[in-house]
Structure 1
Amino acid sequence: MADANGPIPKIVLVFVILAVALGIASLVLNILILSKENEKKQGESTETISRPTSAPAAQPVVSNSTGFKEAAEILLNGLDFSFDPCEDFYMFTCNKYLKTNPLPSGTNRVGTYSDTQRQVNNAIVLALNTSDNLLSNTEKILQKVFTSCMTLPSAGRSARVHQVMVSTFNGFPMLDENWSEAGLTDADFWKGIGILELHYGMASLLQSYVSIDYKNISRNALFIDQLLLMMARDYYVKPHFIDYLDTYLDSLIDTIRQFKADIQSTVPDETIVQEATEAAELELSLALASVPSDLLRNFEQQYNPYTLAELRTAYPSIGWDAYLGAIIEQGEPSHDEYIIQQPSYFGTLNTILAGKQYSKRTLVNFIMMRFLQNNLDFLGNGTDQYSRLFEIIRSGQGGMKKRPEVAAWEDQAYSCVSLTEDLMPYANGYVYLKGIDANLRDNVRKDIAKQTEYVIERFLDMIATLPWLTSTSLDSARRKAQGLIKNYGWPDWFDFNDSTSIDAYHIHYNSILNMSDWWDITNALQYASQVTENFGTLEKEPDRYNFLQSPAAVNAWYQPERNSITLPFATLNPPYYRYDFPQAYNYGGQGGTVGHELTHGYDDEGVQFGPTGELYPCVWNHCGWMDKNSTSGFINMAQCVVSQYSEQCCPLKTGSVHCASGERTQGENIADIGGQLASYKAYRHYIAVERNGVEEDRLPGLEQFTPNQIFWIAYGYTWCMNMSTEYLTRLLLTNPHAPGMCRVNQVMQDIPDFALDFNCQRGSSMYPPDTQRCQVWTGQ
């Protein structure tokens, strides 16, 4: 036995040292945990949310189901682990995709969104190539359009283009030597403008459309709008784009010269240069008179009803009788009321016309130049390069019906299907959906309906925490949610076993079955589309359930005048959603889309419309159903987002235009932030209610990521996109959406739940101090 006062045995000494070490380690760990908990309390919602870390004590359960495997494969296409998700989440989720998907030659963008639309279009192509003799009349028409578009024997139709010019305006003044102003009356001039809009889908000095009457939702109304510019307004009015204007005019002149040769005109080139320049000056004057898009957010200001007699009095130099008689074929409307949207533009247009600042010859030249631009595909050889140039520099706001020049068969097919999506939206969607298994269609619809309800509920919970939203305004917000129309997948009246309804809907397209020339078919498409979807609906009962676009469009939208949210079936595909994918993925992708569109019903535009789409009146300093105090709080919230996006200058830092405008993109940015947070809370609600708090299995190959983290990664991946410099510049100038990089990183930094799920340190780019964060649609 050892002496009690002797040396301590080595084994005892080891235990003592270990005990001391463990005590110190425990103390340090407790300090760290306490620090982390305090940090969470400063930035986290008061709602209790279970946050599994990426390194849990228990081995996570991994699912090897087909859906989970393929969800992981999709996300791995973008993930680049060399980037810190807390510093640049966009590059973390997208850089691999960006590197492996460079822009193909001649294209402006490629991204996960366009990949999905291509897959949908390919499914439609496959359906249209069937030899089934039992096809509905609608499918036969669509098949005829597609086949004709693919063969496309219509190049060299310059004579047909010129024939339309002669029949509407007695020709193209600068190319037709015998043209005279005396031969074209004012009534014929305005009738010609209406004919081109109705029969050829081309607006010029003004444009009109039919929609629900904002102040009398029991009927439709005709809205009359300013002209649609061929390029973004900034290209015309800002001096640093003078080179673009020079290029634009040079391209116009070169195209007119080609057209001159095609129709064998003998006018000298000097005449073309002089008169084309004068017409371009008119276009510039009209651009200056137009109201910028960022000033078109007040719908009360854009609702200015006139009777026909009042239009004649207010703007006497505009031939209203002839113009309206040309676009409304069914005769005088039952109610004598027309909504002028920009009185200032029409005042300037009237002054230009009354003062004869530009001759009728110049006015017709301007309209004929537009018609030429609208039909570039039908001109003779030699215009391809100008067609491509117009496609690159124009704003993409509408007007041109051309099919872009393409090399590969797949690209041509994509473009031909896209044309049917624009001009036969329900037929295009019907063919797509008919090819999908009926059980899958129905299951997806039910799943999305449940997801949508969860997102709506959580959004209403969020806004109930807003300190600036009064109880009166909160009640109004809840009533608006209760009145929301939810369009899932496809219109309810689609019958995939009986084509009677879909064929009746497309009755105005029937003449196409007897046509063979692509020129005739495209013009028949334009006319049938205007009659079916636009002017022909003026006397019909308003339909709040109208999708307005194709169920085969990879998109989603909120319509304030209908208070409706529409989720086409095509968007219920990866990268947004798949029925057998984990719900973390589906809520991160599609749930965020639902939240985004829902939030538009409460932004600065949506708040102007009530539960059934009626336009609320304005008081002297605010519009909509929010009271004064709530409106003030909303403005402060929105201004935070405007300032944040403008100050951070996303995404470029070189060139003449390099920042997304916080003002122009505020509505979409607010919807991104608020919508994604609502979807995150909806997902956590799903786990609590549907799975009794049990987390979903993890993805194979991505086992290190929790379901919460997959939610955010799925969102980031939906915005992966490569863009050309020209396209990005145009996007920044004209589009109310910020580029994808901004829509990921700047959303993440405003939602602390993201940083907590990824264990980001305070002060990192994605977890800024509270003073640099915008609280969007939440008081927490």
Structure 2
Amino acid sequence: MKLASLSYSLLALSLVTAGCKKEKEESVAEKVPGYDISSLDSTFKACDDFDSYANGGWKKKNPIPGTESRWGAFGILDKENKEVRLKGIIEEITNKKDRKKGSEEQQIADYYQSYLDSATIEKRGLEPLKPYLDKIESVQSLKDLASVTGELQKLGVSAVLGFGVEGDLRNSKMNVLYQGQDGLSLGEKSYYERTDSSTLNVRKEFVKHVDKMFGFASFKDPNPGKTILDFETKLAKIQLTNVELRDPVKTYNKMSTKEFQNLIPDFDLKTFADKQDIKTDTLIVQNIPYLKNLNTLLKATPLATLKLYTRWQLLSQFAGFLPKNFDQENFNFFSKVIRGTKQQRARTERAIRSTDGLLGMPLGKLFSAKYFPEEDKKKVSEMIENVRTVYGERIDKLTWMSDSTKARAHKKLKAFTYKIGYPDKWKDYSSIDIKSDKLFENVVAASLYQHKESVEKIGKPVDKDEWGMTPQTVNAYYNPLNNEVAFPAGILQPPFYNRDADDAINYGGIIAVIGHEFTHGFDDQGSQFDEEGNLKNWWTASDRSNFDKLTKKYIDYFSGIEALPGFKINGALTIGENVADLGGLTLAYYALEKSLKGKPEPALIDGFNWKQRFFLGWAQVWHMNTTDAALQNQIQTDPHAPAKDRINGPLPHLKEFQNAWNCGAGSKMALPEVARVVIW
């Protein structure tokens, strides 16, 4: 099941597993300061470049480790969690004897051991792939290709189209099958179209990468890298951009399976679906023209090229679980070239992350029991309700929205539900057969379990208790189909939530995060869903027009920011996250102000008043050093703006920031009233 979730998270998930609390039985932990003033760089002015002012000192002291492409609050929590907390849990389990077959402890311990058993991995070579390679080699027609690629989809191997299962956008209580475009090794079509030197170099290195991988595999195809790049370039040309994919109306095309099959008659979609055990009469198609153009492309492409492409997708998908030369070359391209990471993590660290990736929920159950105090759940619930109250007050004060639409906005806000910490019920993973000496088969077993779980949901009611993240994840999300926000245990710690910090720091951190997720329910996408999670208009035409004008102004603003020479932020791609940041900051600021009413003015801390510390709290959440390669990749593929611009971007639109730091007219961090964007 290849389609991405429709949920909107705080940060791209490639960075965000992390964090945990001290055990109650441990000695009292050293208190973390709300804001460490050594993070400041007073050579910068707060009103000129707030990120450099608030985080310049931190950036100088925290260069990017060789194993990372980005280094900030998320990565630091990730490192602490994985290399200390989860490692401790895993090692404790592996030291136990007589683990029951099928138990979560047995699965975790044996998978971890299978990943560490590099001697067996080297000895087996490509033997685990042979049954699948033989099937690809036996392909004699497009119908055969549909059969083989359908089977490979169950293992997570990409094809030119993919399926996913989620709630129906227009009937959110029921799960439905979605179909979408797929199959680009570089992830996004701009990598195949841009002609700047950096992108040209990525394509050049990609060709070398494929050639090396085929050489390691002793495949004899001539110029495989060029062949695959040429095919994927043609594939990219007929796909929607990542901005176009943001439109839930344009990408919602419900039809019968027969109508779907007729869109691409030369590729046997029925066999493709049957091989994935998919049984349904209807589905939602993402891009109808893509399927028609894909049919033409497949017919015009030599079968030998399609088979070569399929072998490549198989090899690339499992490269990290194969002998060292494959694993290392996979790292060299996708981490070193694409993201600027200098060195691969040690095998032990990768084993921890791989175990977390495949068995994250069983690990999350142990993590939650050990490190997440129940009092934090109560505290976060109170925070969420405070944000809900302030959001309602902000809606009432809007001048661009009519009373009738305000009433519907209140209805949606009231219907918001939330998840905190970890699931109330846990899934049964005992059917996954994990062996201590069969890494490849373990990955396949976990993939087949996930696939089976997914297809069995088709046509059944949505389980609203299900989580979209593991408890140890340092992130949060809003799911428009459930109209819910979720805050895993991993994010409920410094610098996001610090029980030892003053309120201003926490409001600039975790409260702004809560406000961010709430605002996703009313961003350019979330605002198209009603209180029940259905894609349904609840706006008057004039109110929607007013909203669109405001978001267009904000799109243009961010599109003018050059994050790297020749690479400007894509304001249309990042608009949802940018609106959520602006809303989150606004809600958090006024929630803090509301909490202080009737109380004495808080004392200065380190020379800063509570208004200033609120914004310092926001800045330290996003302090980050990033390689140029990772920044380029983020600009082209990620709906989140770079960290620096998540700090500096929204602040000039907030008169509250200008007043807190006494920014005079003409300051870089203060816009004139007419240029400011105020949405919620």
Q: TM-score with structure 2 length normalisation?
A: 0.89
Work out the number of aligned pairs and report it.
Answer: 643
Any idea what the Cα deviations from partners look like across 1:121-167, whole Å, max 9, x if unmatched? 22111112114569892233223223332344424544325413334
Following TM superposition, by how much is the alpha carbon of 1:631 offset from its aligned partner in structure 2, in angstroms? 0.6
Aligned in 2, Cα 1:480/1:155: closer, same or farther, shift over 3 Å?
farther
Task: Determine if contact 1:210/1:535 at 8 Å carries over to the other structure.
Answer: yes
Whether 1:70 aligns to 2:32 is: yes
Written as runs of structure 1 = structure 2, the 5 A alignment for 1:284-683 is: 284-328=233-277, 332-333=279-280, 336-353=281-298, 356-383=299-326, 385-392=328-335, 406-408=344-346, 412-413=348-349, 415-436=350-371, 441-493=373-425, 502=426, 505-509=428-432, 511-512=433-434, 514-532=435-453, 534-616=454-536, 624-647=537-560, 649-652=561-564, 654=565, 656-657=566-567, 659-683=568-592
What is the aligned counterpart of 2:133 among 147, 156, 166? Answer: 166
Q: Could you tell me whether the CA contact under 8 Å between 2:68 and 2:342 is conserved in 1?
A: no
Aligned to 1:7: none
Deviation at 1:595?
0.8
What code does the residue aligned with 1:640 have?
A: K
| Alignment deviations for residues 58-81 of structure 1 (CA, whole Å, 9 cap, x no partner) | xxxxxxxx9995224x53352223
Deviations 1:24-66 (A, max 9, x none): xxxxxxxxxxxxxxxxxxxxxxxxxxxxxxxxxxxxxxxxxx9
Q: Distance in 1 between matches of 2:222 and 2:129?
A: 16
C-alpha contact (below 8 Å) 2:133/2:311 kept by paired residues: no
Q: Which residue of 2 aligns with 1:34?
A: none
Letter in 1 for 2:393: D
> Displacement, 1:119?
1.9
Question: What does residue 115 of structure 2 align with?
Answer: 149
Give the CA RMSD over aligned residues. 2.5
8 Å CA contact 2:143, 2:267 repeated in 1: no
**Paired residue secondary structure (1:486):** strand
1:234 to 2:190 alignment: yes
Is the Cα contact below 8 Å between 1:444 and 1:579 reproduced in 2?
no
Q: Which residue of 1 aligns with 2:207?
A: 249
Q: Tell me the equivalent position of 2:622.
A: 719
Q: Report if the CA contact (8 A) 1:117-1:554 is conserved.
A: yes
Aligned-pair CA distance for 1:91 = 0.8
SS at match of 1:103: coil
Whether the 8 Å contact between 2:165 and 2:457 is mirrored in structure 1 is yes
TM-score by length of 1: 0.78
* Equivalent residue in structure 2 for 1:87, among 48, 55, 75: 48
1:708 Cα deviation after fit: 2.4
The one-letter code of the counterpart of 1:425 is G
Q: 1:476 to 1:555 in 2, by over 3 A?
A: same
Task: Look up the match of 1:53.
Answer: none
Q: Does 1:108 align with 2:108?
A: no
Residues 77-128 of structure 1 show CA distances to partners (whole Å, capped at 9, x for unaligned) of 5222332212211011111121111122253111111111222222111112
Counterpart of 2:306, as a letter, is L
Answering whether residue 190 of structure 2 is matched by residue 202 of structure 1, we say no
State the secondary structure of the residue aligned to 1:217: strand
Runs of 4+ in 1 over 6 A off after TM superposition: 133-136, 393-396
Residue aligned with 2:486, SS? strand
Contact conserved, 1:68 with 1:582, CA < 8 A, in 2? no
The residue matched to 2:461 in structure 1 has which SS?
coil
The answer for the alignment partner of 1:685 in structure 2 is 594
Q: Check whether the contact 2:59–2:624 (CA below 8 A) recurs between aligned residues.
A: yes
Q: Secondary structure at the match of 2:275?
A: helix
Greater Cα offset, 239-248 or 479-488: 239-248
Aligned: 1:140 with 2:74: no
1:377 Cα deviation (Å)?
3.0
2:592 is paired with a residue whose SS is helix
The amino acid across from 2:314 in the alignment is F
- Equivalents in 2 of 1:228, 1:750: separation in Å? 40
Residue 276 of structure 1 and its aligned partner are, at CA, apart by 4.4
Partner of 1:217: 172
Question: Structure 1 residues 379, 436: CA separation in 2 closer, same or farther (over 3 Å shift)?
Answer: closer
Give distance in 1, aligned partners of 2:394 and 2:56: 33
Question: Structure 1 residues 463 and 170 mapped into 2: Cα distance closer, same or farther (>3 Å)?
Answer: same
Q: Distance in 2 between matches of 1:431 and 1:407?
A: 24
Q: CA deviation at 1:580?
A: 3.3
1:207 and 1:773 mapped to 2: Cα distance? 42
Cα distance, 1:471–1:553 mapped onto 2, change above 3 Å = same
Q: Secondary structure at the match of 1:239?
A: coil
Q: Is the 8 A contact 1:113 1:575 kept in 2?
A: no
Q: CA deviation at 1:169?
A: 1.6
The answer to whether the 8 A contact 1:423-1:529 is kept is no
How much has 1:646 moved relative to structure 2? 2.0
Amino acid at match of 2:37: L
Contact 2:235–2:294 under 8 Å retained in 1? yes
Could you tell me whether the CA contact under 8 Å between 2:253 and 2:286 is conserved in 1? yes
Given that 1:554 and 1:568 are in contact with CA atoms closer than 8 Å, whether structure 2 keeps it comes out as: yes
Matches of 2:447 and 2:415, distance apart in 1: 34
Q: Which residue of 1 aligns with 2:9?
A: none
Q: Per-residue CA shift, 1:209-246, capped at 9, x if unaligned?
A: 11011222332111011014221311101222333222
**1:434-465 CA deviation, whole Å, 9 max, x = no partner?**
1126xxx2111111111111112212222222
Contact 2:67 2:343 in 1 (8 A): no
| Superposed displacement of residue 340, structure 1 | 0.8
Q: Secondary structure at the match of 1:119?
A: helix
Aligned 8 A contact 1:230 1:395 in 2: no
Deviation digits for residues 715-764 of structure 1 (CA, Å, limit 9, x no counterpart): 10111111111111111111111111111112211111122122222322
Q: Give the one of 66, 91, 94 matched to 1:129.
A: 91
Larger radius of gyration: 1
Determine the C-alpha separation between the residues in 1 that align with 2:594 and 2:351: 43
The runs of 5 or more residues in structure 2 that have no matched partner are 1-27
- Could you say what secondary structure the match of 2:418 adopts? strand
The structure-2 alpha-carbon separation of the partners of 1:77 and 1:189, relative to structure 1 and needing over 3 Å to count, comes to farther
Question: Deviations for 1:518-543, whole angstroms, at most 9, x for unmatched residues?
Answer: 222222222223233x2233254302
Paired with 1:405 and 1:650, the residues of 2 have a C-alpha distance of 28
Indicate the percent of aligned positions where both proteins have the same amino acid: 23
> How is 1:697-712 mapped onto 2 (pairs within 5 angstroms)?
699=605, 702=606, 704-712=607-615
Check whether the contact 2:209–2:225 (CA below 8 A) recurs between aligned residues: no
1:648-690 deviation line (CA, Å, top 9, x unaligned): x2433x2x32x212222111111111111101111122223xx
**1:404-459 deviation digits (Å, cap 9, x = unpaired):** 973546xx42x33333443333223212111126xxx2111111111111112212
